[in-house]
Structure 1
Amino acid sequence: MTVRAEALDEALSCVSSALGPAIGGDWTRPAGDLEWDCRYTAEHLGDTLLSYAAQVVSRPADHYVRFLAKTDADASPAELLEFVIAGGRLLAAAVRSSRPGERAYHPTGRSDPAGFAAMGCVELLLHGDDIAQGLGVAIDPPRDTCARVVARLFPEQEPIPDAWDALRWCAGRIDLPGRPRRTGWKWRGSPPGDRSIPEE
């Protein structure tokens, strides 16, 4: 159940297919339950994906590569979405060009390329969903990708029938019958069997 660059390709396709038709909408509306608007959420998403790509190719052991990627203030919704897609594609390319055993800093444990691919999928799908909600559209994520991401980042999670529900529940986005909404959650960045998880 590893997560490869192809999972990022699928998550990108899902998000771009949902948001592309909504580029004429009001991207200053709130994004889902977030305090951010859709514009800022898209900018955050692109920056995060680029940051993960930088981690994968630079492999720092104890810090993030120090930069902040921003869009121009007058960037259109189409250009914001282009920024997200560019960040996702660069992360996918970084994952494809890296060896599985390579590691880089993440606050939830030194991660391998598969871990950064999984984290990129979470960011894409959850924030893509936030933006979609703000614009009145819906995304329909690939369930196999969701299942792989949950297995990689939330390995102790008991099975939940729908993998998209499972991912959203694990990340504190929804409650489910008999499962209250999670608070204070975090994923596991380090690979299975690795003990390099930061102390609380």
Structure 2
Amino acid sequence: MTITPDDLDAAVTSVVSDLRKAANHDWSSAPGTGELNAWRTAEHLGDCLISYAGLLIARPSTPRFVCFESVADSAATPSEMLEFVTVGGGILGATLRTMAPDVRAYHPSGRADLAGFAGMGCVEALVHGEDMARGLEITLDPPRDVCSRVLARMFPEVDAVDIDPWTALLWATDRTDLPGRPSRAGWQWRGAPLDG
């Protein structure tokens, strides 16, 4: 199952729409991913999306990330942080739409194709969005068809039959436990194409 820029758009739009419900909260005091608060998690998410676009455009000849970091203005409000995430998703989506289908670029999870970068963007948006949502005490409700495609492409080892795709994605990224299933601590997605 492939992942497209349209899937990335849907994931980012869904996350931003749900997080907008908490735009009047103090994101600097709400937990986010790991040691980051919700504000810093949003900044990290925007940077990740733009960085993936940078990798596709620059395609460094050595295995490394492009040497820049996208940061938000320190006075940015939660609504402006959601704008930053939206812009990051738009830049990655536009980059994916303009690349030749055979383009590959470095990522530690494998030399990724366009579907791999679209999938990485979706995972970043969905799971960091979930981290922020939990800290802000709201619920995300992403499109289940996108979650299914992301699982199939990025986590081919995950058997998600008879499991809600969103719950399965949260389990695959160690955000929840599933009865009878082992911990996914130390998880990694597959950036490289499934056929190579």
The two structures share one fold, judged by TM-score above 0.5: yes
Matched, 1:112 2:77: no
SS at match of 2:21: helix
Aligned to 1:191: 193
Per-residue CA deviation, residues 58-102 of structure 1 (Å, 9 max, x unaligned), is 222421111011111111111111111100111111111112211
In the TM superposition, residue 159 of structure 1 has moved relative to its aligned partner by 2.3
Q: Is the 8 A contact 1:100 1:114 kept in 2?
A: no
Aligned to 2:31: 31
Q: Distance in 2 between matches of 1:150 and 1:181?
A: 16
In the TM superposition, residue 9 of structure 1 has moved relative to its aligned partner by 0.9
Q: Is the 8 A contact 2:171 2:184 kept in 1?
A: yes
In the TM superposition, residue 32 of structure 1 has moved relative to its aligned partner by 4.9
Per-residue CA deviation, residues 108-130 of structure 1 (Å, 9 max, x unaligned), is 10001110000000000111111
TM-score w.r.t. structure 1 length?
A: 0.92
Q: Is the 8 A contact 1:23 1:77 kept in 2?
A: yes
Counting aligned pairs with the same residue, the percent is 51
Q: Distance in 1 between matches of 2:2 and 2:86?
A: 22
In the TM superposition, residue 104 of structure 1 has moved relative to its aligned partner by 0.2
Aligned to 2:152: 151
SS at match of 2:123: helix
Gaps of 5+ in 2: none
TM-score w.r.t. structure 2 length?
A: 0.94
In the TM superposition, residue 46 of structure 1 has moved relative to its aligned partner by 0.5
SS at match of 1:91: helix
SS at match of 1:155: coil
Q: What are the equivalent positions in structure 2 for 1:1-200 lying under 5 Å apart? A: 1-32=1-32, 34-61=34-61, 62-160=63-161, 161-194=163-196
1:6 maps to a residue whose letter is: D
In the TM superposition, residue 153 of structure 1 has moved relative to its aligned partner by 1.0
Q: Distance in 2 between matches of 1:60 and 1:101?
A: 16
Q: Distance in 2 between matches of 1:21 and 1:79?
A: 14
Aligned to 1:198: none
Q: Distance in 2 between matches of 1:33 and 1:109?
A: 24
Q: Distance in 2 between matches of 1:97 and 1:64?
A: 20
CA RMSD of the aligned region, Å? 1.3
Q: Distance in 2 between matches of 1:15 and 1:157?
A: 23
2:41 maps to a residue whose letter is: T
Equivalent residue pairs, number: 194
Gaps of 5+ in 1: 195-200
